[in-house]
């Protein structure tokens, strides 16, 4: 898989995951690994800067939550501006896929 393409898509990938519900860092890494069947591993040096950028843009927010075992985790949750941005990008993505499909897809 083209890693450059994936790098540019990380914010959208994260927004998409967080739109399913709040998640903490390692949970995101594991979810990405599971869903891509191990073909894409999000490293800490890419994940946290991307999350912090999304937070700086107010597309997501974060909060610390104490677990029953006393440990703390920082959760990230999508904000209305982030949800709106994701929807707009999904529409653009669909248009792009449809357009490319018209050239490289099977011809009827």
Partner 1 sequence: MAAYLGEVELGLSPLPRRRRKELIRELEANLIDEAESLGLASEAAIGAVLDAKEAPSDIARELVATETDSSRHRRRTKLLAGGAVGLATGGYLLILGLVLNRPWRLSMSIGLALGLAVGVGIFWVRSHWQRMNPAARVLLAMALGTLLATPMGFIMGKTFLWTWLSYGTFAGYLVERFQSGRKPVGWIMDNLAFTALLFSLATVQQKHWFLEWSDWQLVLRSMLFNFVLQVGVWGGLHLHRLLDGHWLLKPNRA
The residues of the shown chain that bind partner 1, judged by CB under 8 A, are: 4, 7-8, 10-12, 24-27, 29-30, 43-46, 48-50, 52-54, 56-59, 61, 63, 71-74, 77, 79-81, 84-85
Smallest separation (angstroms) from partner 1 to the CB of 17: 15
* Distance in angstroms (rounded) separating the CA atoms of residues 14 and 34: 14
Query: Closest approach of Cβ 102 to partner 1, in Å?
Result: 24
Q: Which of these, 5, 23, 11, lies nearest to 76 by C-alpha position?
A: 23
Pairing of strands 23-24, 72-78: antiparallel
Q: Which is nearer to partner 1, 43 or 107 (CB)?
A: 43
Q: Which is nearer to partner 1, 21 or 106 (CB)?
A: 21
Nearer to partner 1 among residue 30 and residue 98 (C-beta) = 30
């Amino acid at each position: 898989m083209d890693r450059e393409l994936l790098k540019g898509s990380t914010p959208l990938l994260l927004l998409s995951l967080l739109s399913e519900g709040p998640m903490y860092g390692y949970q995101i890494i594991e979810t990405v690994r599971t869903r891509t069947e191990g073909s894409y591993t999000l490293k800490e040096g890419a994940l946290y800067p991307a999350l912090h950028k999304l937070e700086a843009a107010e597309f997501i927010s974060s909060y610390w939550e104490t677990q029953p075992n006393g440990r703390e985790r920082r959760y990230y949750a999508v904000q209305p501006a982030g949800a709106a941005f994701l929807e707009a990008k999904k529409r653009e993505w669909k248009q792009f896929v449809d357009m490319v499909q018209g050239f490289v897809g099977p011809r009827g």
